[in-house]
């Protein structure tokens, strides 16, 4: 466990030194600029538009950072042979992988938090009254990023190509947001065209339901419903998916020859 923590911390420090926080600054500037533009364009609805754009950007930035990082970090170290430096020591391969993943997610989570801070500051300046829904929406976005990051890591190790991993992850990200609709289709047409629906049904069983975490898209829920946000289920679901992909990644990584 100590090795995992050390590796995570090391990854985090490495990420701090690279372009990650440059992106954060760029985001803060973009939010400032957009707020001025949107103020002119959306009139009465300025705050809603600013809220949606900001949360959307935070999630996208987190996604890009997590998916790019997860797809490249291990492959890059394998190519540059720096992975030898770690694995020649008494460090389990699974610990190495978990450490790298946690370090990356720590960096992404930190960057998302900074962006959310700047976003909330901007919203409050515009007269927005802080609502706890914002925290849940942020948590939902981060959990999506966590799940997708673990999936990207698995795909990078199984395809051994960062580009393929990136592409497949983005496809699964999109499908994950359509999962309620996919389930509906399977329910509605499943009995009539079983063969046609079989692949879709298989997809609906395996890919993560990202729409589950998407409170960002339902921020105008009536108060009664907003209080029923199933945070416990979110955490169990996200933890379950991360574990599955990380265990599979670890199994694949154990078979790698260097």
Partner 1 sequence: MRREALSFPALAAVAALGLACCVLLNAGVARRQSWVREDRVGIQLPESGALESAFLFGMGMRRLAADLGLIRLLLYYGGSEDEFPGAEAADGRREAVEGHEGHEGHGHAAFDSDHPERSFGGGRYPLLGPMSMRILDLDPSYSYPALFTAGALAFNLNEPQKAQWLLEYALKRDPGNRQYHEYLAAVGAHRKGTPKGVIEILERLVLDPECPTMMKNLLGFLYFKNGQREKAIAIYREIARDSRDQGYRGIAERMLRRLGA
**119 vs 216 by CB, closer to partner 1:** 216
Selected from 46, 64, 135, 161, the binder of partner 1 by CB under 8 A is: 46
Rounded to 5 degrees, what angle do the CA atoms 149, 204, 156 make?
30
CA pair distance 27, 43, nearest whole angstrom: 23
Selected from 32, 194, 230, 235, the binder of partner 1 by CB under 8 A is: 230
Contact call for residue 132 and partner 1 (CB under 8 A): no
Selected from 1, 17, 36, 43, the binder of partner 1 by CB under 8 A is: 43
Indicate the SS3 state at residue 54.
helix
> CB 161 → partner 1: shortest distance, Å?
19
**The tokens of 230 are what?**
């199933």
CA pair distance 99, 110, nearest whole angstrom: 16
> CB 141 → partner 1: shortest distance, Å?
9
**39 vs 190 by CB, closer to partner 1:** 39
Question: How far from 248 is each of 176, 243, 256, CA to CA, in Å?
Answer: 19, 8, 13
Residues in region 135-154 near partner 1 by CB under 8 A: 144
**14 vs 217 by CB, closer to partner 1:** 217
**17 vs 89 by CB, closer to partner 1:** 89
Q: Which stretch binds partner 1 (CB under 8 A): 12-20, 21-29, 34-42, 114-122?
A: 34-42
Contact call for residue 199 and partner 1 (CB under 8 A): no
Angle between helix 93-125 and 46-79 (nearest 10): 160
Residue window 68-107: x/- pattern of binding to partner 1, with contact defined by CB under 8 A: ----------------x--xx---xx--------------
- Contacts with partner 1 by CB under 8 A: the residue count is 65
**The tokens of 128 are what?**
């927005």
88-93 CB contacts, 8 Å cutoff, 24+ apart: 91/3, 91/7, 92/3, 93/250, 93/253, 93/254
């Amino acid at each position: 466990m100590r090795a995992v923590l050390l590796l995570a911390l090391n990854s985090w420090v490495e990420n701090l030194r690279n372009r990650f926080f440059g992106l954060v600054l760029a985001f803060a500037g973009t939010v400032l600029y957009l707020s001025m533009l949107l103020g002119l364009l959306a009139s009465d609805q300025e705050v809603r538009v600013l809220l949606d754009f900001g949360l959307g950007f935070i999630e996208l930035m987190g996604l890009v950072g997590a998916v790019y990082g997860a797809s490249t970090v291990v492959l890059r170290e394998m190519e540059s042979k720096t992975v030898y430096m770690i694995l020649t020591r008494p460090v389990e391969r699974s610990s190495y992988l978990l450490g790298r993943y946690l370090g990356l997610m720590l960096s992404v989570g930190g960057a998302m938090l900074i962006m959310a801070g700047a976003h909330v500051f901007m919203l409050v300046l515009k007269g927005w009254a802080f609502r706890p829904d914002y925290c849940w929406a942020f948590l939902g976005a981060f959990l999506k990023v966590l799940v997708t990051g673990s999936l990207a890591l698995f795909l990078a190790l199984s395809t051994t190509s960062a580009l393929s991993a990136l592409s497949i992850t983005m496809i699964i990200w999109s499908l994950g947001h359509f999962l309620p609709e996919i389930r509906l289709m399977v329910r509605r047409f499943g009995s009539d065209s079983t063969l046609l629906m079989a692949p879709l049904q298989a997809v609906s069983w395996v890919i993560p339901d990202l729409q589950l975490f998407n409170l960002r898209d339902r921020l105008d829920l009536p108060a009664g419903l907003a209080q029923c946000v199933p945070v416990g289920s979110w955490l169990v679901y996200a933890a379950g998916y991360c574990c599955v992909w990380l265990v599979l990644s670890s199994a694949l990584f154990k078979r790698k020859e260097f």
